Amino acid sequence: MNNEKSFRAVVILGAGRSGTNVLRDCLTQFPEFATWPCDEIQPIWRYRNGSHPTDELPVAMATPKVTNFIRNAFASIWRKSGKPDFVVEKTCANTLRVPFIESVLDAPFYIHLVRHGSDVVPSATKRWRGILEVPNFAYFAAKARYIPVLDIPNYLASFIAKRVNKVLGKQAHLSSWGHGLLDWIY
């Protein structure tokens, strides 16, 4: 947090489609809480680790450069938001990297959100198939501004390839959506 230890990070952990956005949005209605103007900051968490094949980031990947980058991102949002008591973050893939987060952030506060699987599955299935609403340009622009410059080509190529394959009918659904696990079973 760049020697400014006047806030505490709040990390919401939960499966995709479990209500993490709703919880974050509710918390940030209070002036003591702030967050990013986009739903997830995956590019910040994966800084210099973008080629790692999964969302499971081991502690060894929290190098000094990575740690400083992530801490500076939190400190920047904190300053831009008027220096509130808490900075809330809810990237769902963080459920797979709690030890990594522990090594990067100073004593984060965790909220583990659990939603019954029978409620999550229909929503997740729609999202995986790309049936849910198509976000507008402003949504993507808000997320894209947090991609480190050197990582932009990789994120852009992946985004375009997934959408083109879906539009051309080469895939009935996105090739992947949600957390990337090393031992994923299809």
The span from the first CA to the last CA of the chain, in angstroms, equals: 39
Of the pLDDT bands very low, low, confident and very high (cuts 50, 70, 90), residue 123 is confident
Residue 174 falls within a domain, yes or no? Answer: no
Q: Provide the percentage of residues in the chain whose pLDDT is more than 90.
A: 49
C-alpha pair distances (Å), 172 with each of 34, 101, 110, 125, 158:
38, 35, 36, 12, 17
For 148, residues 6+ apart whose C-beta sits below 8 A from its C-beta are: 43, 44, 47, 48, 69
Of the pLDDT bands very low, low, confident and very high (cuts 50, 70, 90), residue 112 is very high
Nearest CA to 108 out of 34, 30, 7, 21 is that of: 7
Helix segments in the chain, DSSP class H: 20-27, 42-45, 64-80, 98-104, 117-128, 137-144, 152-167
- pLDDT at site 27: 97
Residue 114 falls within a domain, yes or no? Answer: yes
Instruction: Give the residue-averaged pLDDT of 136-148.
Output: 74
Residue 2 pLDDT > 50, yes or no? no
Residue matched to tokens 């459920």 = 95
- pLDDT at site 23: 95
Residue 18: phi and psi, rounded to 5, are: -100, 0
Overall number of domains in the chain: 1
Residue 71 falls within a domain, yes or no? Answer: yes
Of the pLDDT bands very low, low, confident and very high (cuts 50, 70, 90), residue 1 is very low
Residue 135 falls within a domain, yes or no? Answer: yes
Comparing 113 with 186, which gets the higher pLDDT?
Answer: 113
CATH no. for residue 98?
A: 3.40.50
Average predicted confidence (pLDDT) for the chain:
83
**Owning domain of residue 40:** 8-167
